[in-house]
Structure formats: C-alpha cells, structure tokens
Amino acid sequence: MALIAGWAGWPRMVVATVWAFSAAAGAGEGAEERVRMTAEAMTALREGGYVVVMSHGPTVIDEFDMGAGVPGACVHQRPLTDTGRLMASGVGKLLAREGVPVGVVVSSRYCRGLETAERIAQYTHTSKLRSLDELNELSEAATRADMSQRAEALRRLASAAPATGTNTIVVTHRSNMAAAFGDAFSTVGDGEFAVFRPYASGPVQPYRLAYRFRVEDLSNYAKASQRNPRPLGP
C-alpha cells in the first residue's frame, strides 16, 4: 500500500475533533507511518466507492443482553460506555470535516450498534439509516449455520457498490467481522475500521481490503493534521 509523501495529501480544513478517548494512543513504533496510511485512506474515501465496516465502541462490561435485536429493548442490552458514545461522535465529526461523503449507514439491531450508526449519520448528514438482523452479534450459543449466515451477509455488504460518489458505513460487531473476513480479524478492536473496495464484476472475491486502521489511528491523524494543516489557497 503506497504511502503519501510528506503532508501533500492533507485536507484543506484543519481537523479539530476532540478525541476524549485514547489520550496517549499511538505513541509506539510505526505511529507516523500509520498516520500517513490513514491520510491516504481519507483521500480515497473523499472520492467515494468504498464500504467501511467497523465495530462499535466499548460497552459496559458488567451487563448482559436480555433482549438483543428487539426494537426498544435497549434497557435490556449492553450499552455503549460514555467513551463509546464519544468515539462514535468523534468518527462522525471527523468524516464530516474530511468531506467524506456517506450515502447510507447500516447497523445491527443491537442498540449499541444503532447508537453508533445514528451518531455517525447525524454528523455526516446521512438520511439513509438501516438496521439488519443479519448484522446482530454472534453469541457463544451461535450455531455453525448462524455463523455462516451472518458472515455471508457481511461479505455481501462489503461487495455492494455504494451510490456513485458516496461510501457506505456498516456498523457491526467484532465476532461478525472475524467470522466474515477470517483469522486476520480475530483481534479486531473497539471502533476498528476495515475499508473495502467492491468490484463491479470479474474476480472470484468481489471485494478487496483497501485499508484497515484502529480508532487510535484516527485520533493520531486528527492531532497530526492540527500540527500540519495544509495551507489554504492554490
């Protein structure tokens, strides 16, 4: 994957999103390279044509789902933490300020997925918001048939070309991403992004993984663009 040379690919608008989470994120080895890869991804997303599959943010770990996928049953489901809500809003704000066009946001019917999707749609001014049972989280009790069905649904979404000049955002769960996209996704983190490029026709696999980045990469990208804004004008 080619990297942008210098800072020539940075957007005109300085990203000022406040990332309340991940305060010391990305300080380790390779952080600068990952920032540049994230910059490249943002440049590509501004052109449209991608499907972004992401896991929702952190949830309250001492609560359990009692009414998963049932509309209005949020009180019986494991909710996002305040950090998870800030994360979802931060993603939406950053996509909006980067000028990334979002045509539709799709999520599971779990309320933590729905809330993530709603916050992203709010800031990207996306009116098309859908929820699908097929994106609901795979539980430990899931059968092999359940896993196959959910995985196929996610792969089908990754293969579906967005409307011209837009991107599709799909909010799902870590277990679903691992089931759909293989062992490489067994370590998916909260809020992690996988950016797929659907193919119109031809190859056996109707999509390719174009980019993959963690939420701390977005945080570091926002911070770096504040320090290195692209000059306004020609």
Give per-residue pLDDT as tens, 116-149.
Answer: 999 999 999 999 999 998 898 876 666 788 888 9
How confident is the model at residue 69, as a pLDDT?
53
Q: Is the pLDDT of residue 6 over 70?
A: no
What is the 3-state secondary structure of the chain?
CCCCCCCCCCCCCCCCCCCCCCCCCCCCCCHHHHHHHHHHHHHHHHHCCCEEEEECCCECCCCCCCCCCCCCCHHHCCCECHHHHHHHHHHHHHHHHCCCCEEEEEEECCHHHHHHHHHHHHHHCCCCEEEEHHHCCCCCCCCHHHHHHHHHHHHHHHHCCCCCCCEEEEEECHHHHHHHHCHHHCCCCCCCEEEEEECCCCCCCCEEEEEEECHHHHHHHHHHHHHCCCCCCC
For residue range 26-40, list pLDDT tens digits in order. 445 588 899 999 999
Read off the pLDDT band of 1 (50, 70, 90).
very low
pLDDT of residue 64: 60
Statement: residue 200 has pLDDT above 90: no
Q: What percent of the chain has pLDDT over 70?
A: 74
Lowest mean pLDDT among 14-18, 94-98, 181-185: 14-18
The pLDDT-based confidence of 77 (bands split at 50, 70, 90) is confident
pLDDT over 90 percentage in the chain: 53
Least confident of 25-34, 86-95, 147-156: 25-34
Give the mean pLDDT of 91-114: 94
193 burial level (CB within 10 Å; 0-12, 13-18, 19+): buried
Mean pLDDT value of segment 53-82: 75
pLDDT band at 46 (very low <50, low <70, confident <90, very high): very high
pLDDT recorded at residue 182: 92
pLDDT of residue 21: 34
Dist. CA 155–CA 4, nearest whole Å: 29
Sequence spans of domains, the chain: 31-227
Band the pLDDT of 94: cuts 50, 70, 90. Answer: very high
Is the alpha carbon torsion for 199, 185, 23, 78 positive or negative?
positive
- Give mean pLDDT, residues 180-200: 92
CATH superfamily membership of 31-227: Phosphoglycerate mutase-like (3.40.50.1240)
Q: Is residue 23 scored above 60 in pLDDT?
A: no
Lowest average pLDDT, out of 16-25, 52-61, 85-94, goes to 16-25
Asked if the model's pLDDT at residue 197 lies above 90, the reply is: yes
* 108, two tokens: 């599971």
